[in-house]
Chains A and B, each alone.
Chain A
């Protein structure tokens, strides 16, 4: 659905945030976009949906150039930025003014999501707390029923019960037609929902792989000490040392996304070599 070819982008010409970046994302998946602060996650999302223009290269959505912002493309995508702006309107007024841009918007779903999030229907949006505003925008975004749903740090500001509701709503939202992209630092909020990890690091996409494939290649476990020469990455913890090992026998272990991310940005080239050992197959 999304195809990024040789993207270079920088807010200043001399200081490129991405260089020759390539990425391809398909329908039917929930992608988790990870990257350090300042790595360019939000900027990548903006390039993807036409809010920022590539310095070189292209970003397309179903073959259409995102930066052209064709109405047919925009009505089939919803972007939830990290910092949201809400006008001084009630939810009903907001819906009557905004929903018309999304042909498949479902009012019934919207009010159902709002009820699940416990956001009052008749509240004036800019008087709501940040968390309530965010939930209202999430409910709106999901009710647009666009095929492309891009969310930048959606769980920031949500309280604990709302995170559970958020997971349930996302689980119900994924269809074979839909492509959901979520950038996050709170990987635990979205565990068992994200099926594919995308990691942006050092101006490139260093990982774009399904969690199932990652767990086939790498073993995540806890050992008493990290003296084994096979250890690819290790972090001390109370229970021992959390390690990542090669996984030649394909033993299952749950991918510890935080450990994995730290391992990737630590720059051990062996991990990436193992992950990309059948790169062509994964690129499809």
Chain B
């Protein structure tokens, strides 16, 4: 896995795990790869993956069954979306606002483009 330079690796791995959960590859109450398995797959230090799992556990996205492993929380999708939403509103949106303000892009144009984007990308085939 290629890692970006501007975000801690354990957070990038957390995003990777969250993506798998959002995409339904790892459904609720399913066991996820062990720390070792994921570390081998991503070629990273197991301590880093442990930190990822502790972080996701704190966010209640996964839970730990002692001696068995880590499992996807029943409402993990909801939790992941909530965290992502908060992060988007706090970090990405101000940047986006700043750009549309500087470039004087009217909201109507955005609305139009957004509708177009939705039909292009997210209508069922």
The interface of chain A, by Cβ under 8 A from chain B, is: 28-30, 164, 167-168, 171-172, 174-175, 192-195, 212, 215, 220, 252-254
Count of A-B contacts judged by CB separation below 8 Å? 50
Given contacts A192-B9, A253-B5, A254-B5, is CB(A174)–CB(B40) below 8 Å? no
* CB-based nearest A residue for B39: A171
Q: Would you call B8 and A252 a contact (CB within 8 A)? A: yes
Q: Report the Cα distance A30→B39, complex, angstroms.
A: 13
> Which 7 interchain pairs have the tightest Cβ spacing?
A167-B43, A171-B39, A254-B5, A192-B44, A168-B40, A171-B40, A172-B40
Q: Report the Cα distance A212→B11, complex, angstroms.
A: 13
Q: Would you call A171 and B43 a contact (CB within 8 A)? A: yes
Q: Report the Cα distance A44→B41, complex, angstroms.
A: 32
Q: Which of A29, A30, A192, A194 has the most CB of B within 10 A?
A: A192
Q: Report the Cα distance A253→B8, complex, angstroms.
A: 7
Is B48 part of the binding interface, using a Cβ–Cβ cutoff of 8 Å? yes
Q: Would you call B39 and A164 a contact (CB within 8 A)? A: no
A168-B41, A192-B44 given; 13 more Cβ-contact pairs under 8 Å: A28-B47, A29-B47, A168-B40, A171-B40, A171-B43, A171-B46, A192-B42, A195-B48, A215-B8, A220-B5, A253-B5, A254-B3, A254-B6
Q: Report the Cα distance A192→B40, complex, angstroms.
A: 11
Given contacts A168-B40, A171-B40, A172-B40, is CB(A192)–CB(B45) below 8 Å? yes
